[in-house]
């Protein structure tokens, strides 16, 4: 294997930092989520009215939230990862967004019945807390990464590594919401391809999501990266499968 590949991969490893939830470093070098059977933004827009109070949980750097264009004075957000929380204080708070640094697996720092709509894209949640902070008739919408996400890629680089969140699939999460008192308005799941067009992009990707690729490094996984390079040269890409699921759940209105 060409020594320059190892040098390129180690450079990608050193560059593997993420600001908010920004994957622009990989623009043109990989594809995913290009053909999900739902449009998460369009679904939010179906339920969100201009006078609604909106909460975005685990907002990252607020990138997706700001793209919705909801009135800042009616918008709240949480983020628990300290570097992203610092970014949110710089970008969201000056706009008038009510930002709170919070772990979404803990009690949410909001009063009962505050929100009309709560959204969560690939973040943590506790159904009972969602039920508490939603008003009667309020709606929670989430797109989640499922338990079988990227498994071929993990097996390629780290053979035998178990999935980190085996319970994270539509059927189990639907049951959790129903036990918490929600009505499920929609539940959907999907498996779609993820493709990398250079192995350096895969290195960067694996380094920024260590919960899926625990202990990954170029040095440790060099023979597996060389195999990935052979696959790329044969097939034109290194391909895996993403696992996503969608839940839209409503707190029952008052009768």
Q: How far is CA 168 from CA 146, 175, 185, 235, in A?
A: 5, 12, 19, 31
Mean pLDDT of 22-40: 92
Q: Are strands 238-250 and 183-196 parallel, antiparallel or unpaired?
A: antiparallel
In sequence order, the 6+-apart residues with CB closer than 8 A to the CB of 232 are: 196, 197, 198, 199, 238
Nearest Cα residue to 132 out of 185, 169, 182, 71: 182
In sequence order, the 6+-apart residues with CB closer than 8 A to the CB of 81 are: none
Domains in the chain: ranges and CATH: 3-250 (3.40.50.150)
Mean pLDDT of 244-254: 97
Q: How far is CA 22 from CA 31, 198, 227, in A?
A: 14, 19, 28
- What is the reported pLDDT for 18? 72
Residue 229 scores a pLDDT above 90: yes
Residues 122-160 pLDDT 10s: 999 999 999 999 999 999 999 999 999 999 999 999 999
Strands, sheet with 98-101, edge to edge from the N-terminal-most edge strand: 30-31, 183-196, 238-250, 134-145, 115-121, 54-57, 75-79, 98-101
Contact 230, 2 (CB under 8 A): no
In sequence order, the 6+-apart residues with CB closer than 8 A to the CB of 8 are: 200
Mean pLDDT of 177-203: 97
Location of structure tokens 């959907």:
188
Residues 81-96 pLDDT 10s: 898 999 999 999 999 9
Q: pLDDT: is 17 or 229 the higher one?
A: 229
Mean pLDDT of 7-24: 86
Residue 45 scores a pLDDT above 70: yes
Residue 47 scores a pLDDT above 80: yes
Residue 3 scores a pLDDT above 70: no
């Amino acid at each position: 294997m060409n020594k320059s590949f190892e040098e390129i991969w180690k450079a990608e490893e050193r560059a593997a930092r993420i600001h908010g939830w920004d994957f622009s470093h990989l623009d043109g070098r990989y594809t995913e989520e290009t053909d999900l059977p739902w449009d998460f933004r369009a679904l939010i827009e179906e339920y969100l009215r201009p006078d609604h109070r909106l909460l975005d949980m685990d907002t990252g750097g607020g990138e997706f939230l700001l793209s919705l264009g909801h009135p800042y004075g009616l918008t709240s957000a949480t983020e628990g990862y300290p570097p992203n929380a610092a970014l949110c204080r710089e970008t969201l708070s000056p706009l008038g967004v009510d930002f709170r640094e919070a772990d979404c697996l803990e009690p949410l720092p909001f009063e009962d019945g505050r929100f009309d709509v709560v959204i969560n894209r690939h973040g943590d949640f506790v159904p009972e807390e969602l039920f508490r902070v939603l008003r009667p008739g309020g709606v929670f919408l989430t797109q989640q990464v499922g338990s079988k996400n990227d498994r071929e890629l993990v097996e390629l680089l780290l053979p035998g590594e178990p999935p980190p969140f085996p319970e994270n699939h539509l059927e189990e999460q639907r049951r959790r919401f129903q036990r918490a008192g929600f009505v499920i308005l929609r539940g959907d799941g999907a498996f779609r391809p993820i493709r990398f067009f250079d192995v350096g992009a895969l290195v960067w990707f694996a380094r920024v999501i260590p919960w899926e690729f625990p202990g990954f490094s170029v040095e440790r996984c060099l023979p597996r990266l060389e195999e990935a390079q052979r696959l790329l040269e044969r097939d034109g890409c290194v391909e895996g499968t993403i696992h996503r699921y969608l839940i839209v759940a409503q707190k029952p209105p008052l009768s």
